[in-house]
Structure formats: C-alpha cells, structure tokens
Structure 1
C-alpha cells in the first residue's frame, strides 16, 4: 500500500486511513483515484474488518476539493472529476465493512461529502462543517445534496446548502450529522475504540445490517422489508450465527470467524 497522498495503518483488524495533504488535505483527482484503489484493497483484505478515515493534522479533515485543480478545468474536465468523486464516495458508502470518519478539523464541501459517505462520524470539538459551494457559483456535486437531507431533513438541508454558513461540532451533533464529539486529543483513540468494538462483531451480520439500511433507505417500506428479510436469512445461514447462539447458551464471549 504505497500511495502519495494516503497513509494506511492496519492493526488488530482495523485500518486507519489518513488523507495526507497538509495543512488542509484537499481532494484532487489523484486523491480520489488513490482512495478508490485503497478501498478496493481494504475490501479484499480479510484481515480488515473496520476502517477509520481521517485527515492529517488538526486543521482539516478535508477542506474541500482542490480549487487550484478545478480552476484549470473546462466543463468536460470538471464533469469527469465530479463523476470520479461520486464514484469514490459511493464506493466508501457501500463497502461491506463499517467506515468511521474521525473528523479532526474543517470538513468543507467535498470533505463534508466524504464524511457523509461514511457509516459513523466522530468529531473533534474543534471541527467545523460547511457546504460553501454556492458562494463560488457552484453546488455540491459529490452527493452532498442527497446524503445531507437524509440525515437532517429537507428543510435543514436547504438552510445549510443555500446559506453555506460554517457551523461547529456542537450543532453537527444536534443535527445528528455526527454521532459523537470528543476533544481533539481524544479523537483518534475514540474512533479506534469504536472500530475495535465493531471488529469483534460478526462481519457478515454487520455487512447485512449495512446492506439492509443503505439499500432499504432508497426504496419504499415494503421493498425495504423484503431486503431486510433477505439480509436476515443471509446472516442466519452463517457459522457465526451458530457461534453467537452457542456462546449465549454457554454464557461465554463469542469468537467470530467471519464465515
């Protein structure tokens, strides 16, 4: 795993991926391509069960797209970059393993979209969030208009998108954009703590939970219930289900194999 703008450390079934373009870790085409490649590797690695995604330093998680690159592109080039960003965020959203965003600083524009593509978000109390695109004469193009409203509702999403104002971690917590806020010093350890807890759970059951929630959220209730039923059956058919039930009967801690 040798990448120019990404760092990856794997320990105890948890991969910590760090976007490494300090001080503000902007997203450009190369970062998108590296994220795509690395997440493919992590998906295929059976030794990895949970992924933590963060930015280098304390100033920014990701302070948006690389405006210097965007300013040089024509419509064809921007559309190509935009397509790449959507593909990468969707890949992160739908990878079979839980992804926790450790938001260590500014999460602006594409950085905010990247965080929203993750399953869970833990924020530093110093982090700030914004979709500032409208002030640049553009709009979010990596899924922000869609993923945000599913979390906060359409009215609040329009407020945040239309005005583009920056808001702090406290409001992000109130709006359920982040799951937890901790100090900057505690952030990475808090994310790892959640990741290690998830890494001990049955991987197929977690995958089926993620599929049921993600796919079900994009359909009607009846179709969602059918998706849930299929995912339930897939989880029930595993060796891990047998281990979980047997461990419960024997009053011991289960050891899950991922099968």
Structure 2
C-alpha cells in the first residue's frame, strides 16, 4: 500500500472552539440558488467532532432538511489540510463512562442528520478525512476528493469501532472484503486508492474538491426538486430489501411524482423545447 502522511495533531481539540463550528451558506449565483453548503468550521481543531460540534452538525442538517428550496447539499471544510479528523479524542479522554454514553445519541444525531438529508448530498474532501470525518463523507451520496486527500477508518487502532455508520456504509459502497480489509487494518488510504476501491467517487486536483462539488451540485439542482427527493427516497429505502420489495418502493415513489406539478411542467417544457420552471410540488 502506498505510504500516506501522518495526520497532524489537532491543536485545540479539547479546548473551546470558535462560535461558528458549522455554518450553512447559500449562494446568489442563479445556478447555485437551490444549493446549500454545510461548512465544517472548527479549523484550529481540524474539525475534530466535539460534542458541541456534533450538535451543530445535527442542527445544520435539520435546518437544511426543512428548507424546501434546497435541492442539493454540499458538505465542505474551512481547513485546507483536513475535511475532518474524526472524533475529538482529547475531549473523550476526559469523559467518564457515563459521559461517553451521554454523548452517544448526540453523535448519532449528527451522522444521522447527514445520512438522512432528503435531497442529494456531496462531500468535498481535501486533506484528511479520518474516522468520523470519513463517516461524514460516506454519509453523503457522492464523495469528491482532492488528489492530496487521505481517508480511512482507524478506530480499531484506538480500541473502538467506526460508530458513525462506517461499518455499514463502507460495506455498502465497496463490498464486504474490501471494507473488511480497510477497517480491520485501520488503513489510511490516499485518494487514488480510495477511488479504485469505490470509497470515493471522483478525484480532482488537490484543493479543488469544493469547486467540483459545487459544479456537480449546480447540475443536480437544475433538475426537478420533486424528482430528486423521490429518487433519493426510492434508492435509500430500496437499497437493503430484495428486488421485489425494492420495485414496490420505486412504484410508490414514482406515483408520488406522476401527478406532481413538476411532472406536468417537465413534460410541457420538453414539448415546448424550453427549460422547465419547477413549481417544486
């Protein structure tokens, strides 16, 4: 396996973080008007996920999920060298067992919030995405990585297992044996290797993952909001059932779109050779 750099130690992972922690940004450019950017913004700790940051991630995803004008979400970082280095181990090191268990539902709400976004989501990964950081990316529908990115689930090396969905999401992305090797070895993978195994979906020049993610988001957001939400729902609900059950889920989601204003507008726009103006209902 190619050698990978060692992640720098977060300098203030156990200290009080800046007030923002996580921001939700919107855009004035017309092509991005229906895109929301969730920005991980704890740069001095390389976005290590503290209890406070987990709450902020959950709140941001809840805000975005409730906004019907959003058609696509991009998850990014303010840190040039790290998307997110995972759980705040300095904070956890001071926890009692009871405090660790109290934090658990907070962490689950953060990762579940990203996974449960009702619209397509794209992670833009530059730098390190390790442990819980990689799980945040895996919780998105599409992962774009910069050439210098390093990803991995190293939790067994510190006596736990991936707890933000990693044991389930990586298996579903790359298959049992590849996921087993990655998780059991606690391996850190460069972007090219992660692309080859299917853990990320696209590799771009270092430092340009956000730009590419926003480009993809603009393409996605040009499509029907009803169609996007229904397609994601069909795929998510159908992924873990047999084919017959999956086809029933697809049929139910198709019916939800068939008599929508978006379907009528889409057909009319096609017939009239113009761009659709989606009513979103």
> What is the TM-score normalised by the length of structure 2?
0.88
- Equivalent in 117, 125, 135 of residue 103 of structure 1: 125
Deviation of the 1:3 alpha carbon: 5.5
Deviation of the 1:40 alpha carbon: 1.3
Give distance in 1, aligned partners of 2:108 and 2:252: 28
Structure 1 residues 63-102: Cα deviation after superposition (integer angstroms, max 9, x where no partner):
0100011111223322332332222222211221211100
Deviation of the 1:184 alpha carbon: 2.5
- Equivalent in 19, 26, 32 of residue 40 of structure 2: 19
Contiguous gaps of at least 5 residues in structure 1: none
Give distance in 1, aligned partners of 2:169 and 2:189: 18
- Equivalent in 232, 243, 248 of residue 254 of structure 2: 232
For residues 179-194 of structure 1, what are the structure 2 equivalents within 5 Å? 179-194=201-216
Structure 1 residues 131-187: Cα deviation after superposition (integer angstroms, max 9, x where no partner):
111111111111110111001111111100100111111111112221111112322
- Equivalent in 215, 221, 242 of residue 199 of structure 1: 221
Q: Name the structure 1 match of 2:21.
A: 5
- Equivalent in 71, 92, 103 of residue 81 of structure 1: 103
Give distance in 1, aligned partners of 2:276 and 2:243: 33
Q: Is 1:128 the equivalent of 2:150?
A: yes
Q: Is the contact between residue 126 and residue 207 of structure 2 (CA under 8 Å) also seen in structure 1? A: no
For residues 34-73 of structure 1, what are the structure 2 equivalents within 5 Å? 34-73=56-95
Q: Is the contact between residue 128 and residue 166 of structure 1 (CA under 8 Å) also seen in structure 2? A: yes
For residues 90-169 of structure 1, what are the structure 2 equivalents within 5 Å? 90-169=112-191
- Pair 218,84 (structure 1): closer, same or farther in 2 beyond 3 Å: farther
RMSD over aligned Cα, in angstroms? 1.5
Structure 1 residues 213-255: Cα deviation after superposition (integer angstroms, max 9, x where no partner):
1111122221111111000110112111011111111222222
Deviation of the 1:196 alpha carbon: 1.0
Q: Name the structure 1 match of 2:199.
A: 177
Give distance in 2, aligned partners of 1:149 and 1:183: 27
